Amino acid sequence: METIQLTKNMPVSSFHNFADDCIGTGRMGLALQRQYQEQLRLVQEKIGFKYIRGHGLFSDDMAIYQEYEDETGQKVAEYNFTYLDMVMDFYQEVGIKPYLELGFMPQKLASGDQTVFYWQGNVTPPRSYEGWCQLVQATLQHLITRYGRAEVVTWPVEVWNEPNLPGFWQDADMTEYFKLFKETFLAVKAVDDQFKVGGPAICGVDDVNWLQQFMAFCHEEQLAIDTVTRHFYTISDPETAGHYSYVTLREARESLTELEISRSIIDDYPEYRGLPMHITEFNTSYRPDSPLHDTNLNAAYIAQLLSRLGETSASYSYWTFGDIFEEMGVPFTPFHGGFGLVANGNIPKPTFWTFAFYKKLQKNCLYKGEHGLVTSDGKERFAGIFWNLTAEAMSFQLDFPEEVEKWCITSEVVDQQTANPLQSWHDLGEPANLSAEQRALLQQIAQPKVTTTVTSDSYSFTVQPHGVHYFEARPRKQTSDRGYDYQRVLAGR
Amino acid sequence: METIQLTKNMPVSSFHNFADDCIGTGRMGLALQRQYQEQLRLVQEKIGFKYIRGHGLFSDDMAIYQEYEDETGQKVAEYNFTYLDMVMDFYQEVGIKPYLELGFMPQKLASGDQTVFYWQGNVTPPRSYEGWCQLVQATLQHLITRYGRAEVVTWPVEVWNEPNLPGFWQDADMTEYFKLFKETFLAVKAVDDQFKVGGPAICGVDDVNWLQQFMAFCHEEQLAIDTVTRHFYTISDPETAGHYSYVTLREARESLTELEISRSIIDDYPEYRGLPMHITEFNTSYRPDSPLHDTNLNAAYIAQLLSRLGETSASYSYWTFGDIFEEMGVPFTPFHGGFGLVANGNIPKPTFWTFAFYKKLQKNCLYKGEHGLVTSDGKERFAGIFWNLTAEAMSFQLDFPEEVEKWCITSEVVDQQTANPLQSWHDLGEPANLSAEQRALLQQIAQPKVTTTVTSDSYSFTVQPHGVHYFEARPRKQTSDRGYDYQRVLAGR
Amino acid sequence: METIQLTKNMPVSSFHNFADDCIGTGRMGLALQRQYQEQLRLVQEKIGFKYIRGHGLFSDDMAIYQEYEDETGQKVAEYNFTYLDMVMDFYQEVGIKPYLELGFMPQKLASGDQTVFYWQGNVTPPRSYEGWCQLVQATLQHLITRYGRAEVVTWPVEVWNEPNLPGFWQDADMTEYFKLFKETFLAVKAVDDQFKVGGPAICGVDDVNWLQQFMAFCHEEQLAIDTVTRHFYTISDPETAGHYSYVTLREARESLTELEISRSIIDDYPEYRGLPMHITEFNTSYRPDSPLHDTNLNAAYIAQLLSRLGETSASYSYWTFGDIFEEMGVPFTPFHGGFGLVANGNIPKPTFWTFAFYKKLQKNCLYKGEHGLVTSDGKERFAGIFWNLTAEAMSFQLDFPEEVEKWCITSEVVDQQTANPLQSWHDLGEPANLSAEQRALLQQIAQPKVTTTVTSDSYSFTVQPHGVHYFEARPRKQTSDRGYDYQRVLAGR
Amino acid sequence: METIQLTKNMPVSSFHNFADDCIGTGRMGLALQRQYQEQLRLVQEKIGFKYIRGHGLFSDDMAIYQEYEDETGQKVAEYNFTYLDMVMDFYQEVGIKPYLELGFMPQKLASGDQTVFYWQGNVTPPRSYEGWCQLVQATLQHLITRYGRAEVVTWPVEVWNEPNLPGFWQDADMTEYFKLFKETFLAVKAVDDQFKVGGPAICGVDDVNWLQQFMAFCHEEQLAIDTVTRHFYTISDPETAGHYSYVTLREARESLTELEISRSIIDDYPEYRGLPMHITEFNTSYRPDSPLHDTNLNAAYIAQLLSRLGETSASYSYWTFGDIFEEMGVPFTPFHGGFGLVANGNIPKPTFWTFAFYKKLQKNCLYKGEHGLVTSDGKERFAGIFWNLTAEAMSFQLDFPEEVEKWCITSEVVDQQTANPLQSWHDLGEPANLSAEQRALLQQIAQPKVTTTVTSDSYSFTVQPHGVHYFEARPRKQTSDRGYDYQRVLAGR
């Protein structure tokens, strides 16, 4: 049993909690779908992220870039913002702003045929950089006209996605990417200098080299970039069987080193020192078919990461909010190891609650350990999260300051016995297509167990294996109505 | 541990389950209120009763009966159905039909000033029986015009409420009540012979005498009544302190004797033998300030009653669905011992779930005992409810038929550790006026704990003190998607 | 045809448009009702008032003031805020703040039995001023605790209603009212000095005398009152037949003199000069059974008043927003001459649109005449309202500034041919109880006729008898899509 | 002025009104979109069709047909019903059943690469007829499992779409289509003999030859087909400019001849005589870029067609309900000449109301002419529709039976002055992307003008050019409340 002593005047550090800054999404075209929207609505109601980032802004299903032949037979570009407006209007409806990833390449503007994913995003450089920059600028101008300059310049801009992988950028051609970056950077700033623009959006493959070269390039070209962006995944060795991948989690500590290295590469340049680093994607597994994503273990692991990511990074975007997602095809079953916080059928997964809990923390950090953290509002309200990545139960005791006579504690528990819809889905026989009744059952089972307790001095609790435990404590004042005697009620007479 | 053996061809009896037939309500005028409507909407969504019965159809806040002076100075009656339509339209909206209790007396039609309740229902006979009968007939005619004859004649009619109490009927004057009954009975039948009309709506005070005399009166007058109605409460000796009454529960068995006696009084008349007996009110305590109503003990006790009431009665109407109720004034606090299944703030109380569980039972009864019952649909689906009125945990084991290889069991548990919003409200300090946050917390805490399990042959479970345990069992068939291996998911690799 | 010339640099005056400041309501207890809430929701969606004022905060159906006997047999006050919170929570939901009229007297705190209205508000002085002041203070304190001090002190406070009528204040006893005013004023200010408190809430009977004496009293007692409040109705000689009153409208000009006199009585005191005068009730007829309220004539007359009321007064509260209202009993029919902007069945009356139109005006007044006004936003957007109180059509022409090539004009028309649900209700046979189909039809018919036009220089239009005509004009820019030719579409080939 | 005499016992014919039987839709994958669903919800609320038919059930965006390699390297089919269920669940939600058009070909099952439309539906025969039949059967079996056999067998089945066009079926190869038809027909009937199966779904190109050969083929092969299906469009000579096509309407009479010929080809076979002919697509223009679709002229023309189509056909499905549609790409503007009854932005077009009006007609036809028809319910309720395809106003007079004293007439008018959102959109400058305010304005302007009138004997009205006029007449009974005098209200005193 670990004991944590909370006192009135204990030293506090400020807690860099950016858990709600940004969230990932399937390609933008999917945002037209009703189920996508229902899932995001649920996420926004219970968590409430500020930004949303995903691929496919310029992919052909969004239909923005079009061409026609004029009378002289010349190709002329024209832009269609019908679907873009539907998506952006919806984002406004649910109170989220886009984090604009500029990509992939419209077929008609592409220099080649290489595509990525089941949904075939073209990943080749533009056949005309001028055409590309005009597309970027026309799109930003349209957004400014529709949503107002003051609003739109708060939408961060990122150039492309994971150019260090040949699958996402033809030949992973670094020189070509730097060209794309510079051209795009200047084009965006020409629309409005207040836009925050960043890159290189790399994943953890040859990342040290890429980042070093990218920073050197920006330095040489004197590009006053606003953010540096990268991705972060923490598994190794996926093994595939049928539609699924089984993976091995790495130690969080070990994984986090990657970020510290990135941080120091940036900070080596005086002009970029302290520049916000944005992890524009992170998760455990980088595959959308890893059943790990649906488990309580994933929730506990992410709880641990969220306690640490703010140390290096100003934003970290869990990849993704929901399971309407088609990178490897349309999922066959509601639980299929997708990235989402929400499974199809609008069922929150355990990791959903990890984010909901982080959202409720207070601003001062009183305690941060391997298995939990405690925050306060600087007055008499405490909130904390504890997690257990091991296979055995762990116990904790919190001692409260003495100044208060009674505390009312509300706790929310997510572990294998509660808020484990994956297990219930398995118990039901792993149905591929949920009936309305099954869906309702799983939604109900997916809720955390909420309890209240009254204590005068300390709060003891046990976190089960793979569990996440949230609590908040407030001073309790009893205001019984005339004649009401709870002890007598309990006694039944 | 009690063991119950379920086999494929075990003998079944049909289960007279009328738990969802009728529900009580505060006076009709309250049905105009938004919170009343929200509570009833919740009840209808999760349980779904057929009929709703309460007082005050003709009370002055419904404003139906009006008079004016014509040119000659004569009083002329006129009827105002503005509010009645609002109430009935709402009942249609939520799919419930009124069980029409005819009463109380409009002030202008009353022969005296005596009133009952904080809301002052006039309980005196009409100053003109002709005026009364015209009021009844005009109301029924209006309803027929608006909602259709076929529909309205399915709405049962009951004459007055508890005339055997002087508080509800001036002097508890039996002769006068019989007059009222006969006049009203004939007036209703004159509108349409298909109406089902009953009385005497007595409570358990001098009830044997009243019922004997009532049956004798109907027999002599050759009134072809359609139902006999009475009330049923099961506590004794309320003690009042401040705004509250603390009561003692009687043994269910002992209380049920009352109903058997009533049944036999009716059956003594050949022409009335087997006539439906309707318990148009029942509950534990007959006072709306008994904290007992809000407890898990109440839920378990009602679970026991519901297993037995169908043996004598064709309908039994829990008094009441919600806590928007003013008989003793407006409640000061959300939990105040009101009759409702739902506390103010739209928080389901434990007894709410007892009804929700009975609603889900199947038609065949396989087992009925002191602490539980098991039903089936005649095929391979089982559902049962178990309860525990004692202070110690009780364990049960159900053995399933061998023909099926695996069963998936869903259980829902309501006991002092789960679905006990009263305790959490106490933990919060018994606030009189819930904040939005507190209301949401209590609504969440009020949900049963739902779990799923897989078993091959038997299901063992423990019912905690004052707990109610619902389960259903269905054959399980696994249909894993290609490559999905749940054991591997659990193993985390 | 009147012609109005709008030019780029014409002189403007600022338009004191307080049409949306405050709206009246039936007694507070009615705010618990669903239909009341639906009507207010509609009003807030389409118009959006800041404040709502009505009677009955302390009347017995709100159940705030209660008493019990302690062990020594002494009466002790206790307060029940259950219903008050429901009402205030709802007001918050629809974005309206209460204008707190303190009254009437709880039965148990009253010195006599005199009541007003069908719903029996007690209009006698308190039997204990101390008890009254404690009630007022406890209520304000409760509101501050629940809704926050910063919010609650923005809720204006008015002491009682129309004490100059014996029906509303026993004997119209001026001395007693002044006592009530002073005690209450001091009690409120003792809770928080920021509260804005006013009176004497008089109607137009002996109003000059009352106001003079009231101001003299405040002056002598050195009460730093924040507002002076009065009422304003503009008809004479109601004649009653059955449930209805037929009335005669006075000339607006003549009626408005009353307000100018009040204004000058206030301004005679140096310390009160320019003090905000609030008309806390106004309408044409002061009776809730005047069919005039439901007509297009009423809408046109109110349009005229709204152009002028800001000249003397800082707030003017139309009495009332809806027809859930019981002062003379429950209405028998949906159209019954009630005060409301909305008829029962949620049908907007013509006057509803007068307010909706005033809400859309711009801040600068370019033109104000007997029959209309024109406003602008100081740029190139114009909005105006014209009305016709005569029995003959009137025509107008607006000449726009030349700087703009094309104008797109949107107009909304409410007259006897359009947005006249009263006539359609009559055509349907004046049904007392609307079917769902009839209700939908009348809601549809109640909408203004909306049209768009394009013009290059001037806008001519005709206002039909009793019509109200709203328009707005904006510069038009055509952005045809490639190949779209509207003239060809019109030509059908 | 045309006068139509209605008498009590005039001869009636039964009116074959199948206007609400079926409606067309963009490809099934679009049914996942929120805006698609909002448009269909609007259509179902106001009109309410029974069936919905469109392309793309088996196209790749629905993701049903999948393949994988087994251990031996063999391709094995597997089926993914994730998206299909979402679509079908939604159809259930809004009360519409699918009319199952079997097509197009999944890429992996196709014998070639030819595609149709911007969204690239593969239109080649299956590379394996066995694989195709298994796909069809697996899909039907899945639907039966999920929605119940009794329900699913009421969903009509049609084999492919317009095989007589080379664009829709490779080489318009008749022999290959007949093979496809027979194989599919037998496969469907093998699942359940109750399925109603039909073809050949041809359009009006070489249609006589195709239909003759198809019937001969069925006759020879002794296929007991359930329906014969074809399409029907009524324009000629589209001329394209930019994104749009301008077309010429043919005389309705002339066009209808096509259907009579089809009818007689079918009826020539004794075993097929009287077999239901289903027009599974019809509209004026067959291009989704014809501004004609958005006009009042289109509404009037369709009104005329709907009066006649039932003479030859048992179903006629307007192509389509809404403008979420991608056959020629994503529309650039809300009004773009799409097929839909509803424009993007959820704005009903004039033709929407034509269907809404036909839906409200009664079962007996009293009068049918070139410009209108009148129906009755066999009692005292009349309903009719009149239209005007000319450029001059037309006047009509209806004389009612004398037995009734007063009639209340409700009329709904759609013409160029009212319910013409296209013109207002033009007035606004033809904006490509509607603001929320513009959308609300256009939705309001798109409503018909509704009026009521009272008459004692006849109803005269004028239909403006391109107008559609709906009316219904019912006997009027006045039930004035005591004291209510409408004439006095009108007189204003």
**Which positions ≥6 away from C104 have C-beta within 8 Å?**
C55, C56, C58, C59, C116, C121, C122, C123, C160, C161
pLDDT of residue D367: 95
Do C353 and C59 form a contact (C-beta atoms < 8 A)? no
Q: Is the pLDDT reported for residue D493 higher than 70?
A: no
Do A312 and A331 form a contact (C-beta atoms < 8 A)? no
- What percent of chain B stands above pLDDT 70? 100
**Which positions ≥6 away from C469 have C-beta within 8 Å?**
C372, C385, C386, C387, C411, C412, C413, C414, C415, C461, C463
Structure tokens that stand for D287 in this block: 């291009």
Structure tokens that stand for B368 in this block: 């009925």
**Which positions ≥6 away from D216 have C-beta within 8 Å?**
none
pLDDT in tens, A320-351: 999 999 999 999 999 999 999 999 999 999 99
Alpha helices in D309-407 (DSSP H): 350-359
User: Which residues in chain A are closer than 8 Å to B291, comparing Cβ atoms?
Assistant: 484, 488-489
Give me the half-sphere count of Cα atoms (radius 13 Å) on the Cβ side of residue D424.
27
Q: Is the pLDDT reported for residue B7 higher than 90?
A: no
pTM: 0.96
pLDDT in tens, B259-315: 999 999 999 999 999 999 999 999 999 999 999 999 999 999 999 999 999 999 999
pLDDT of residue C378: 86
Q: Is the pLDDT reported for residue A493 higher than 70?
A: no
Low-confidence ranges of chain C (pLDDT < 50): none
Distance, CA of C337 to CA of C348 (rounded, Å): 13
Predicted ipTM? 0.95
**Which positions ≥6 away from D251 have C-beta within 8 Å?**
none
The residue to which tokens 């649909």 are assigned: B377
Give me the half-sphere count of Cα atoms (radius 13 Å) on the Cβ side of residue C72.
3
Distance, CA of D238 to CA of B485 (rounded, Å): 58
pLDDT of residue B10: 85
What residues of chain D, 470 to 489, have a C-beta less than 8 Å from chain B? 482
H/E stretch holding C215 = helix C207-221
CA distances (Å), origin C69, targets B22, C66, C76, D114 = 39, 11, 6, 91
Distance of residue A71 Cα from the nearest chain C Cα, in angstroms: 13
Nearest CB to C483 within list D244, D247, D480: D244
Q: Is the pLDDT reported for residue B493 higher than 80?
A: no
* Signed CA dihedral, C2, C3, C6, C11: sign only: negative
Strand partners, A249: A235
D363-402 CB burial, b ≥16 within 10 A, e <16: ebbbbeeebbbbbbeeeeebbbbbbbbeeeebebebebbe
Measured over all CA atoms, what is the biggest interatomic distance in chain A, rounded to whole angstroms?
95
What residues of chain C, 395 to 454, have a C-beta less than 8 Å from chain D? 408, 410, 417-418, 422-424, 426-432, 441, 444-445, 447, 449-454
**Which positions ≥6 away from A311 have C-beta within 8 Å?**
A16
Distance, CA of A438 to CA of A424 (rounded, Å): 10
Q: Is the pLDDT reported for residue D153 higher than 70?
A: yes
CA distances (Å), origin B7, targets B3, B4, B470 = 13, 10, 20
**Would you place residue A15 in the very low, low, confident or very high pLDDT band (cuts 50, 70, 90)?**
confident
User: Which residues in chain B are closer than 8 Å to D78, comparing Cβ atoms?
Assistant: 482
Distance, CA of C322 to CA of C349 (rounded, Å): 10
**Would you place residue D1 in the very low, low, confident or very high pLDDT band (cuts 50, 70, 90)?**
confident
User: What are A83-86's contacts with CB under 8 Å, separation 24+?
Assistant: A83/A29, A83/A32, A83/D330, A84/A57, A84/A139, A84/A142, A84/A143, A85/A146, A85/D433, A86/A31, A86/A32, A86/D34, A86/D35
Beta-strand relationship, D197-202 and D227-233: parallel
- Residue C301 exposed, middle or buried by CB count within 10 Å (0-12, 13-18, 19+): buried
CA distances (Å), origin C320, targets A209, A246, C96, C339, D490 = 73, 67, 14, 5, 22
Q: Worst-scoring range by mean pLDDT, B56-60, B217-221, D378-382? A: D378-382
Residue from A281, A327, A412, A472 carrying the catalytic annotation: A281
What residues of chain B, 72 to 101, have a C-beta less than 8 Å from chain D? 78
pLDDT in tens, C283-301: 999 999 999 999 999 999 9
CA distances (Å), origin D326, targets D25, D202, D323, D329, D338 = 11, 21, 9, 5, 10
- Residue A420 exposed, middle or buried by CB count within 10 Å (0-12, 13-18, 19+): buried
pLDDT of residue C432: 96
Do C40 and C56 form a contact (C-beta atoms < 8 A)? no
Distance, CA of C488 to CA of D323 (rounded, Å): 21
User: Which residues in chain B are closer than 8 Å to A480, comparing Cβ atoms?
Assistant: 430
Distance, CA of A284 to CA of C256 (rounded, Å): 74
**Which positions ≥6 away from C89 have C-beta within 8 Å?**
none
Residue B311 is among the residues annotated as catalytic for this protein: no
* SS3 (DSSP) at D66: strand
Closest by CA to B168, choosing from B281, B87, B2, B82, is B281
Q: Is the pLDDT reported for residue A14 higher than 90?
A: no
Distance of residue B404 Cα from the nearest chain D Cα, in angstroms: 21
pLDDT in tens, D342-356: 999 999 999 999 999
pLDDT in tens, A155-188: 999 999 999 999 999 999 999 999 999 999 999 9
- What percent of chain D stands above pLDDT 90? 95
Closest by CA to A81, choosing from A132, A144, A143, A33, is A143
pLDDT in tens, D157-191: 999 999 999 999 999 999 999 999 999 999 999 99
Closest by CA to D354, choosing from D303, D409, D280, is D303
pLDDT of residue D101: 98
Closest by CA to D282, choosing from D346, D335, D351, D227, is D351
Residue from A101, A158, A162, A258 carrying the catalytic annotation: A162
User: Which residues in chain D are closer than 8 Å to A93, comparing Cβ atoms?
Assistant: none
Q: Would the CB atoms of B82 and C33 count as touching at under 8 Å? A: no
Q: Is A273 on the interface with C (CB under 8 A)?
A: no
Enter the DSSP assignment of C401: P
Structural domains of chain A sorted by starting position, each given as residue range(s) with its CATH number in brackets: 2-12+362-475 (2.60.40.1500), 22-359 (3.20.20.80)
Distance of residue B431 Cα from the nearest chain A Cα, in angstroms: 6
Beta-strand relationship, A97-102 and A51-54: parallel
Looking at per-residue pLDDT, the higher value among D402 and A282 belongs to A282
Q: Would the CB atoms of D37 and A34 count as touching at under 8 Å? A: yes
H, E, C per residue of chain B: CEEEECCCCCCCEECCCCCCCEEEECCHHHHHEHHHHHHHHHHHHHCCCCEEEECCCCCHHHCCEEEEECCCCCEEEEECCHHHHHHHHHHHHCCCEECEEECCCCHHHECCCCEECCCCEECCCECCHHHHHHHHHHHHHHHHHHHCHHHHCCCCEEECCCCCCCCCCHHHCHHHHHHHHHHHHHHHHHHCCCCCEEEEEECCCCHHHHHHHHHHHHHHHCCCCCEEEEEEECEEEEEEECCEEEEEECCHHHHHHHHHHHHHHHHCCHHHCCCCEEEEEEECCCCCCCHHHHCHHHHHHHHHHHHHHHHCCCEEEECCCECCCCECECCCCCCCCCCCCEECCCEECHHHHHHHHHHCCCCEEEEECCCEEEEECCCCCEEEEEECCCCCCEEEEEECCCCCCCEEEEEEEEECCECCHHHHHHHCCCCCCCCHHHHHHHHHHCCCEEEEEEECCEEEEEECCCCEEEEEEEECCCCCCCCCCHHHHHHCC
Residue C281 is among the residues annotated as catalytic for this protein: yes
pLDDT in tens, A190-227: 999 999 999 999 999 999 999 999 999 999 999 999 99
Q: Is B248 on the interface with A (CB under 8 A)?
A: yes
- What percent of chain B stands above pLDDT 90? 95
pLDDT of residue C493: 64
